Amino acid sequence: MGVVMLTNWAGNYTYGAAQIHHPRTVEELQETVAGARRIRALGTRHCFNDLADGPDALVALDGLESTPEIDAQARTVTVTGGTRYGTLAQHLHPAGWAVHNLASLPHISVAGAVATGTHGSGDASRNLAGAVAALEIVGPDGALRTVRRGDEDFAGSVVALGALGVVTRVTLDIEPTYDVAQEVHVDLPWPAALEHLDEITGSADSVSLFTDWTGDTIQQVWRKSRVTPSYQQRAELFGATPADGPRHPLPGIDPVNCTAQLGEPGPWHDRLPHFRMDFTPSNGDELQSEFLVPRAHAVQALEAVRSLGDRISPLLQVTEVRTMAGDDLWLSGAQGGPRVGLHFTWRPLQREVTALLPTIEAALAPFDARPHWGKLFADEGRDLARLYPHWDDFRALVARTDPEGVFRNAYLERHVL
């Protein structure tokens, strides 16, 4: 049997498997998993590394029925794991509901985002996994099980990197729908950003700072605010001024694929992401890395990375700085307390980026920076274990749930197991 080849979204990684399955029903998925020696779930392929790759077989959930099921009394919605957040929003909003936050891209799948601890931004907003109320998982023997919030294994089963099985359905917390207004300020002086970081990130429900680490200013600050009777556009932000028109986070790119700005109110799903569902997200031709540091170390971490600006900027398209609230999920980047994410969108220069990552990680090591599981990182010396208090608990959960290693792959063996 030949090998099926396909690439991830960015084109920097090629998956190779003897077979890629597209089951039409959960029962067919159960049979597929039960008959596999090694298998991994494949989402929307927005990972930049080999997290989702498998030595034998891959299974995609794009063939499963994806109509969300809203439970208004419980304030939850249940979707198939392969459902994209943008698709979910198209069902929730007309019914009067919303989720608490979204990532910058609405194109990613719910199960994939949850499994990797993917996040949006906001001092009071947990990452997307924080909204999970229950998971339905196909285990290595094909059996279907449900893990709910409050269950003994729940905190280890949400951000689980696909190590526990194939997530068929996810139940998420929802809330009444709301409008958001998005404003962009430009040229925030670095001294003001470092001195007033808490005030800046707390000035809206979701705040992102975009920088290339050169010059005396942070180029753009994107602020997304829930529209309430007291909402007013902000004329000045610690020296930054309102943009004179729509902006794209990456320099020189038409903002046509970005969500509406200039303080124009609109539905949550049309403002919380940076990019519109019906356009190509971001730039496409890029690589990504991200490191999450405890909120208490944010200013020191920014200063440490800024000291490397002359080495970073030639390889960089832009860095985005975001915040998130803490949670108790074992492998979440925000487990144990609030975090600040330093996200790097690189030029498509993998050899050069790979060579630079150890330097960045060394600069951030004193601040206990955790890498985003789905993006490029070095993890030299297998040092990740010290960053997660429940590391051994997670490994024990994997050993108990998948003793034969049906869902193991090279990524898990290299970084986690």
CB 416 within 8 A of CB 407: no
Based on the domain organization, do 168 and 270 belong to the same domain?
no
- Residue where a domain terminates, one of 150, 177, 204: 177
d(CA 203, CA 238): 11
Q: Of 5-9, 89-93, 137-141, 205-209, where does mean pLDDT reach its minimum?
A: 5-9
pLDDT single digits (tens) 75-133: 999 999 999 999 999 999 999 999 999 988 888 899 999 999 999 999 999 999 999 99
* CA 317 – CA 309 distance, rounded (Å): 12
CA distance 129 to 329: 8
Is residue 47 included in any domain, yes or no?
no
Would the pLDDT of 280 be above 60? no
Residue appearing with tokens 């794009």: 62
pLDDT of 16: 77
CATH number at residue 127: 3.30.465.10
β-strand pairing of 206-211 with 76-80: unpaired
The amino acid at residue 327 is D
One domain for residues 325 and 185 = yes
Can you state the angle between helices 350-364 and 298-306, rounded to 10 degrees? 140
Domain that holds residue 254: 179-371
Residues 168 and 247 in one domain: no
- From 348, 371, 394, the end of a domain falls on 371
235 in the same domain as 195:
yes
Higher pLDDT, 62 or 124: 124
Position 8 in a domain: no
Spatial CB neighbours of 151, under 8 Å, sequence gap ≥ 6? none
Q: How many domains does the chain have?
A: 2
| Judgement on whether residues 218 and 134 belong to the same structural domain of the protein | no
Residue 207 — φ and ψ, nearest 5°?
-130, 135
Instruction: Give all strands (DSSP E) within 37-143, no chain letters.
Output: 39-42, 57-60, 69-71, 76-80, 97-98, 132-138
* pLDDT > 90? residue 5: no
C-alpha to C-alpha distance for 154 and 117, rounded to whole angstroms: 14
Q: Do residue 218 and residue 336 come from a single domain?
A: yes
Q: Is residue 116 assigned to a domain?
A: yes
Long-range contacts of 27-33 (CB under 8 A, 24+ apart): 29/59, 29/61, 29/64, 29/138, 29/166, 29/168, 30/138, 30/142, 30/143, 30/144, 31/142, 32/57, 32/59, 33/59, 33/138, 33/139, 33/140, 33/142, 33/165, 33/166, 33/406
In a domain, 257, yes or no: yes
Does pTM surpass 0.85? yes
Average pLDDT, the chain: 93
- Taking residue 78's Cβ as centre, other Cβ atoms within 10 Å add up to 18
Domain boundary among 134, 161, 177: 177
Instruction: Quote the pLDDT of residue 361.
Output: 95
Most confident of 254-263, 276-285, 316-325: 316-325
Percent of the chain with pLDDT over 90: 84
* Residues 256 and 214 reside in one and the same domain: yes
What's the CATH number where 317 sits? 3.30.70.2520
* pLDDT for residue 410 is more than 60: yes
Say if 59 falls within a structural domain.
no
Verify that 132 and 183 share a domain, yes or no.
Answer: no
Query: Does 332 lie in the same domain as 295?
Result: yes
For residue 105, is it within any domain? yes
Tell me if 155 sits within 8 A of 329, measured CB to CB.
yes
Asked if residue 126 is part of any domain, the answer here is: yes
Section 137-162 average pLDDT: 97
The per-residue pLDDT for range 366-392, each reduced to its tens digit, is: 999 999 999 999 976 667 899 999 999
**pLDDT tier, 309 (very low <50, low <70, confident <90, very high otherwise):** very high
Instruction: Tell me, yes or no, whether 215 lies in a domain.
Output: yes
Domain check: are 264 and 315 in the same one? yes
For residues 59 and 81, give the distance between their C-alpha atoms in angstroms, rounded to a whole number.
Answer: 12
Residues 150 and 204 in one domain: no
Residue 18 has a pLDDT of: 78
- Distance between CA atoms of 251 and 319, rounded to whole angstroms? 11
CB-based contact 278:90 (threshold 8 Å):
no
194 and 171 in one domain? no
pLDDT at site 44: 85
